[in-house]
A = this chain, B = another copy of it.
Amino acid sequence: MDLFTIADIIGICAFALAGFLVGVRKELDILGICIAAFLTALGGGIIRDTIVQTTPFAFREIYPFICIVSVIVLAIALKVHQRQNLDQNRLFIVADSIGLVAFSITGTLIALENNLNIFGVIFLAFLTATGGGIVRDALVNEIPFVLNADFYGSVAIITAMLILLADMLGVLDHTAIFIIGTLCLALRLFAYFRG
């Protein structure tokens, strides 16, 4: 299992937990809570893959499904829904930020593979990272958080632009991606905890 898959798994789990918490807060029933968890974690990727005309990753690989089911079972077992402000917990923020950056990187790389232009690259990175949360918030009738909290979506855009730059300079390899990912993660955490 490579480093990127690990980051992807951390992201899926964090996003699923975020969705679970929104479902609980909105007093959805158990099916509604599960839908919120699945949509948040996988919605962005499903829309992205549909746009670039491939079978959604989550419909081919089984590990995202297993991660999310595990998160839901654990969250219920640990009565996570009775705790206050879990979504401001430090560990949660770090996991969520890893997901944000990992998902932005996937979206960017898939856009580059499909030879999209600069707008397509940024759009796909942004959509992969925030699309699940946007769909979830639209369904429960909240204005998507990303429309009001700029230094979340901006991280996705910055990540996409740095990778695009590395690609143009011809230096896009695993090391470059790792460095860009670390930088953007640091930027996000710095902005969150200082701002």
Contacts and interface: CB of A to CB of B under 8 A. Distances in A.
B26 A143 contact: yes
B29 A150 contact: yes
Interface in A1-44: 23, 26, 28-32, 35-36, 38
Range class of the A interface residue count: 35 or more
Contacts of A31: 146-147, 150, 153-154, 157
A147 B157 CA distance: 31
Copies per assembly: 3
Contact of A52 (B29, B55, B62, B142): B55
A102 interface: no
A114 interface: yes
Contact of A58 (B56, B61, B119): B119
A140 interface: yes
Contact of A143 (B46, B119, B140): B140
29 contacts: A28-B147, A29-B149, A31-B150, A31-B153, A32-B147, A35-B146, A35-B147, A35-B153, A36-B147, A38-B123, A46-B51, A50-B50, A50-B51, A55-B114, A55-B116, A58-B120, A58-B123, A59-B114, A59-B120, A59-B123, A60-B120, A62-B118, A62-B119, A65-B117, A65-B118, A65-B119, A134-B139, A139-B147, A141-B141
Interface of A: 23, 26, 28-32, 35-36, 38, 46, 50-53, 55-56, 58-62, 64-65, 111, 114, 116-120, 123, 134, 138-144, 146-150, 153-154, 157
